[in-house]
A and B are shown apart, each in its own frame.
Chain A
Amino acid sequence: MKYVDEYRDQELAKTIAGAIAIEADPEKSYHFMEFCGGHTHAIFRHGVQDLMPQNVHFVHGPGCPVCVLPISRLDDAVELAERHGVILCTYGDMMRVPGTKQRSLIRAKADGADVRMVYSTLDALKIARENPERQVVFFAIGFETTTPPTAVAIKTAQAEGFKNFSVFCNHVLTPAAISHILESPEVRELGIVKIDGFLGPSHVSSVIGSQPYEFFAEEFQKPVVIAGFEPLDVMQSILMLIRQVNEDRHEVENEYTRVVTEEGNLKAQALVSEVFELRKTFDWRGLGTVPYSALRIRDAYADFDAEKRFELSVKASRQVKSCECPSILRGVKKPTDCKLFGTVCTPQNPIGSCMVSSEGACAAYWTYGRFREPKLLEAAE
């Protein structure tokens, strides 16, 4: 397959792996956080770690939109579908995430709620157009990549005068999350999480550009290499990070030049700032309350804001206590450190969000990498 196979080529992989082996200093250990779940997935799906020296470690970050959504917001979505009788349109992964008391959208659907899986905001608009007598809510989640399409949907709905379409907005921002991790006590003071550099987001950066990362590189003295989602992109970026660490540099470098520019997609940025504004705070699963880390719909588009159209009750949302998703999302623990991993919690019967989403670290460990954990397999059987 053109433009894909080139980035999975075994010979090139061997060449880069050879360079990494030569340049990685055996006296040092390198810990790089891949922010995005897309990178975590690529690393495991293609077996990238098998080509890395022992002293290069991947620290999995929180960049999985399904994983970081707090249970309270998921409970709100279930309430919209069940109590307010709307047609709730959602991306597929969100369906299986268990909320309070393990209640998920897929269970609500089985009990009669009208929950529909969509591939894009356009599908949700189409459903609204075809069901003028029903209220249709799009359950919007995701980082900067998925925000512009939501903005387009809201603007289209306004232009066409929709009275039955609204958006339950949960869009979050990458730079705020990275800052929060770097400022956390685990990284700054306690040294529990060692981070020597970042594999920067690829799709997110195609929208926001490489510029927003300059701040971390400078302020926290951490190198950032914006990396594509293909395995050779990841390997090349690791090599670039190793070189920066070895040379004591901390710059923003862009490996994904075929897509990402310094300034990003200005048209998409303009569209987003026209429709959305910053929330003062937002709760993240794992990171807790993070200031200015999420978006809400501006007043000019309030008619399309599901939070304003429907009165959502205040709930006592609760997640399973022993689930380590929050620590895993901060890079403090690995999936294999969780007692539930692979025993109670599997992709077939997920307890936490990290096991549900295809971008979640637990799902990647279990689905692609569990052969590396013989003890765990015995415990699971």
Chain B
Amino acid sequence: MSANDPSLAVTTSSVRGAVDMTHGAGGRAMAELIRDIFQRHLANEFLAQANDAALLGTVCGRLVMATDAHVISPLFFPGGDIGALAVHGTINDVAMMGARPLWLSASFILEEGFPLAELERIVVSMAFAAREAGVPVVTGDTKVVEKGKGDGVFISATAVGVLADGTDISGSNARPGDAILVSGTMGDHGVAILSKREHLDFETEIISDSQALHDLVAAMLGSVPGIRVLRDPTRGGLSATLNEIAQQSKVGMVIREAAVPVKPEVAAACELLGLDPLNVANEGKLIAICVAQDAKTLLAEIRAHPMGRDAAIIGEVVTDQHALVRMKTRLGGMRVVDWIAGEQLPRIC
């Protein structure tokens, strides 16, 4: 089941009308908004405390924290919406440390005039995504800005997680000889957003891959505890993320174009739009780097998980003082895989 079950789109509350300045003014309207939309749908024991801050339990282990702002346009897209995306994106940042996410917080910046029914749809979706992930939204905040000063809704979210002893995952851990894996097809999210934004109707609808990856990560660490690097290739796609890791670890990389999984419809859309799927954002995929001997075990583990069926070993880490990421092309030549210059697709998450 996906966090974007269409039945969730139905407005279930008595909330009507649109956001106005009183919703952020601290008075009765604001209290009602919080009660009828946020508390109602996100309901959990921490929110029920109804204090300025959530009182959380004691945690044993090293804490991990990540924050993520979401300004995506459009707010609703094939395979997700800003609410679910905020949950998935923030959880994934914590998961990429190898940590188990525990709690989320969310701040909403609302633009005057935004329909409350749409806000509720977003919060319902967020609540569903949080429940599905098993990570509650324990505290939140709402502010309203004048019409023209925002774009419907912006959401800023933070996640806290806990890291097991012995797990040491970092972008600086890649070593020459290591294998590079991806958990699935590249570019789905960015192309889904762009096709919706530009009203491009393709024969097959391209769905965003937005999903929370902590469960997959836990399974991977269960089978290969020594994973060296995990990272989710969001903005800038695979190219930017591999370059980040190469620079952080001061190594080079060589990947094989033919090994990188890309859905045919995504490849076709990219071809049409002049984009490179390697530069396009993902919201539910990860890159893993491990020692070469563990690569096959790790690949089998990822493929056995429902979120990793299209996983592949795409290349290896090499010695390179210039920290270049290179690719053996399908044709048999070699080229650099570069960071994207400028902004290919703004407001993708």
Interface size class of B (residues with CB under 8 A): 20 to 34
Across the two chains, which residue of chain B brings its CB closest to A381? Answer: B322
Indicate whether A96 reaches chain B with its CB closer than 8 angstroms: yes
Q: Are B335 and A8 in contact (CB under 8 A)?
A: no
Q: Which of A51, A96, A368, A377 contacts B332 (CB 8 A)?
A: A51
Across the two chains, which residue of chain B brings its CB closest to A119? Answer: B198
B246: shortest Cβ distance to chain A, in Å? 12
Indicate whether A159 reaches chain B with its CB closer than 8 angstroms: no
Q: How many A-B residue pairs have CB under 8 A?
A: 82
Q: Are B330 and A371 in contact (CB under 8 A)?
A: no
Q: Are A371 and B336 in contact (CB under 8 A)?
A: yes
Interface residues of A in 313-360 (CB under 8 A from B): 346-348, 350, 358
Interface centre among B198, B324, B332, B339 (most CB of A within 10 A): B332
Complex interface: chain A residues within 8 A of B342 (CB)? 95-96, 347-348
Across the two chains, which residue of chain A brings its CB closest to B326? Answer: A371
Interface residues of A in 10-26 (CB under 8 A from B): 10, 13-14, 17
Q: Are B198 and A1 in contact (CB under 8 A)?
A: no
Indicate whether B5 reaches chain A with its CB closer than 8 angstroms: no
Q: How far is the CA of A13 from the CA of B324 in the complex (A)?
A: 26
Indicate whether A83 reaches chain B with its CB closer than 8 angstroms: no
Q: Are B268 and A47 in contact (CB under 8 A)?
A: no
Complex interface: chain A residues within 8 A of B331 (CB)? 8-10, 13, 46-48, 51, 231-232
Q: Are B329 and A47 in contact (CB under 8 A)?
A: yes
Q: Are A10 and B335 in contact (CB under 8 A)?
A: no
Q: How far is the CA of A211 from the CA of B326 in the complex (A)?
A: 41
Q: Are B338 and A367 in contact (CB under 8 A)?
A: yes
Q: How far is the CA of A369 from the CA of B329 in the complex (A)?
A: 12
Q: Given A10-B331, A47-B331, A368–B341 Cβ distance below 8 Å?
A: no
Q: Are A371 and B267 in contact (CB under 8 A)?
A: no
Across the two chains, which residue of chain A brings its CB closest to B265? Answer: A1
Interface of B is mostly: loop
Complex interface: chain A residues within 8 A of B268 (CB)? 1, 4
Q: How far is the CA of A347 from the CA of B339 in the complex (A)?
A: 9
Indicate whether A49 reaches chain B with its CB closer than 8 angstroms: yes
Q: How far is the CA of A48 from the CA of B334 in the complex (A)?
A: 8
Across the two chains, which residue of chain A brings its CB closest to B262? Answer: A1
Across the two chains, which residue of chain A brings its CB closest to B322? Answer: A377
Indicate whether A279 reaches chain B with its CB closer than 8 angstroms: no
Q: How far is the CA of A46 from the CA of B334 in the complex (A)?
A: 7
Indicate whether A73 reaches chain B with its CB closer than 8 angstroms: no
Q: Are B333 and A51 in contact (CB under 8 A)?
A: yes
Q: Given A1-B268, A231-B331, A358-B274, A369–B322 Cβ distance below 8 Å?
A: no
Q: How far is the CA of A73 from the CA of B174 in the complex (A)?
A: 48
Interface size class of A (residues with CB under 8 A): 35 or more
Q: How far is the CA of A9 from the CA of B267 in the complex (A)?
A: 16
Q: Are A10 and B330 in contact (CB under 8 A)?
A: yes
Across the two chains, which residue of chain A brings its CB closest to B344? Answer: A92
Interface centre among A49, A232, A367 (most CB of B within 10 A): A367
Q: Are B336 and A369 in contact (CB under 8 A)?
A: yes
Complex interface: chain A residues within 8 A of B333 (CB)? 46-51
Indicate whether A45 reaches chain B with its CB closer than 8 angstroms: yes
Indicate whether B271 reaches chain A with its CB closer than 8 angstroms: yes
Question: Contact string, A28-55, partner B, CB cutoff 8 A, digits 1/0?
Answer: 0000000000000000111111110000
Indicate whether A57 reaches chain B with its CB closer than 8 angstroms: no
A42: shortest Cβ distance to chain B, in Å? 10
A243: shortest Cβ distance to chain B, in Å? 22
Indicate whether B61 reaches chain A with its CB closer than 8 angstroms: no
Complex interface: chain B residues within 8 A of A163 (CB)? none
Q: Are B271 and A4 in contact (CB under 8 A)?
A: yes
B286: shortest Cβ distance to chain A, in Å? 25
B331: shortest Cβ distance to chain A, in Å? 5
Q: Are A371 and B324 in contact (CB under 8 A)?
A: yes
Indicate whether A134 reaches chain B with its CB closer than 8 angstroms: no
Q: Are B341 and A348 in contact (CB under 8 A)?
A: yes
Q: Given A96-B342, A119-B198, A371-B326, A50–B271 Cβ distance below 8 Å?
A: no
Q: Are A1 and B335 in contact (CB under 8 A)?
A: no
Q: Given A1-B264, A1-B268, A377-B322, A347–B329 Cβ distance below 8 Å?
A: no
Indicate whether A116 reaches chain B with its CB closer than 8 angstroms: no
Q: Are A47 and B271 in contact (CB under 8 A)?
A: no
Q: Which of B271, B274, B332 contacts A10 (CB 8 A)?
A: B332
Across the two chains, which residue of chain B brings its CB closest to A374? Answer: B322
Across the two chains, which residue of chain A brings its CB closest to B330? Answer: A8
Q: How far is the CA of A49 from the CA of B336 in the complex (A)?
A: 14
Q: Are B271 and A370 in contact (CB under 8 A)?
A: no
Q: How far is the CA of A95 from the CA of B346 in the complex (A)?
A: 14
Interface set of A (CB-CB < 8 Å, partner B): 1-2, 4-5, 8-10, 13-14, 17, 44-51, 95-96, 119, 231-232, 346-348, 350, 358, 363, 366-371, 374, 377, 381
Question: Could you list 8 A-B pairs, sorted by A, with CB under 8 Å?
Answer: A1-B271, A17-B332, A45-B335, A51-B331, A51-B332, A119-B198, A119-B273, A346-B341
* Inter-chain pairs besides A1-B264, A10-B330, A371-B322, 17 sampled, C-beta below 8 Å: A2-B264, A4-B267, A4-B268, A17-B332, A44-B335, A46-B329, A46-B330, A48-B333, A49-B333, A95-B342, A96-B342, A358-B274, A366-B338, A367-B341, A368-B335, A369-B335, A374-B322
